[in-house]
């Protein structure tokens, strides 16, 4: 079965606090241990020059679930998202995995320089961690993603700000060909169930592109990206 991302219009980790450590939490008045629900906003900003991000996939879950692990094989749902931008299989984890309590989709494609925000309310006894992912659609199987982000210490009004690295799902060879890039750079094939790469999630080394000497690449210098590829902000609102 193949998915094709329909043509798309072209167009960090810091926690809010007193210093620049990667995991620094403000807890102004976190005395609400008896509160039955908590509300959050999740915002992802696209930091790339010419890599639209596919609609966000956000899961709220317990500590028995991980969206991905570096050095291990991607799940089928992550493969589909990373190759085609289709987030539906990841969102379906809510129905298929008892460790996932909630799933939320972004509103649409996030163009370079733009952001998308998802607002939701959860029961912290059912889900206290969040995972987020989105494909860089002018790649073979590159995605930004974070998993098992712990929300339990966030007080009302506090924010977690994190730079999102670009990962390679390891499920599709990075040939950058017109046939295999699903984004607006080519409009090629999206998901293909065959895994012809190393079959493990790893840090993405970036694209090579035609301008860098890869004669078969449909990409050019504008499609290059540096890490981080996106910025994630999670704010507790209630």
pTM of the model: 0.85
Torsion from C-alpha of 171, 42, 22, 25, nearest 10 degrees: -140
d(CA 160, CA 132): 13
Q: What's the CATH number for 35-236?
A: 2.60.40.2130
Residues β-bridged to residue 52:
none
pLDDT band of 13, cuts 50, 70, 90: very low
Angle in degrees, CA 169, 69, 52, rounded to 5: 40
The domain limits of the chain are 35-236
pLDDT band of 212, cuts 50, 70, 90: very high
Point out the least confidently predicted range of 10-24, 68-82, 85-99, 167-181: 10-24
pLDDT at 222: 97
pLDDT band of 69, cuts 50, 70, 90: very high
d(CA 14, CA 6): 34
User: How confident is the prediction for the chain on average, in pLDDT?
Assistant: 89
Task: Tell me whether residue 108 is exposed, middle or buried, using C-beta atoms within 10 angstroms of its C-beta: 0 to 12, 13 to 18, 19 or more.
Answer: middle
């Amino acid at each position: 079965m193949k998915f094709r991302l329909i043509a798309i219009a072209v167009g960090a980790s810091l926690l809010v606090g007193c210093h620049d450590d990667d995991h620094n939490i403000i807890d102004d008045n976190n005395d609400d241990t008896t509160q039955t629900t908590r509300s959050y906003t999740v915002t992802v900003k696209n930091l790339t020059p010419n890599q639209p991000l596919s609609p966000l996939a956000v899961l709220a879950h317990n500590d028995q679930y991980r969206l991905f692990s570096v050095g291990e094989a991607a799940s089928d749902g992550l493969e589909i998202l990373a190759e085609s931008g289709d987030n539906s299989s990841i969102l379906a984890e809510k129905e298929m995995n008892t460790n996932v309590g909630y799933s939320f989709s972004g509103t649409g494609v996030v163009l370079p320089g733009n952001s998308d925000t998802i607002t939701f309310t959860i029961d912290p006894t059912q889900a206290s961690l969040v995972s987020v992912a989105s494909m860089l659609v002018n790649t073979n199987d590159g995605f930004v993603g974070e998993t098992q982000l712990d929300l339990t210490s966030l007080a009302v009004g506090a924010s977690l700000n994190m730079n999102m690295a670009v990962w390679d799902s390891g499920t599709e060879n990075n040939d950058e060909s017109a046939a295999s890039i699903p984004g607006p750079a080519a409009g090629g094939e999206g998901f293909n169930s065959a895994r012809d790469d190393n079959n493990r999630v790893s840090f993405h080394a970036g694209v090579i592109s035609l301008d860098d000497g890869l004669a078969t690449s449909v990409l050019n210098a504008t499609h290059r990206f540096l890490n981080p590829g996106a910025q994630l902000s999670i704010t507790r609102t209630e």
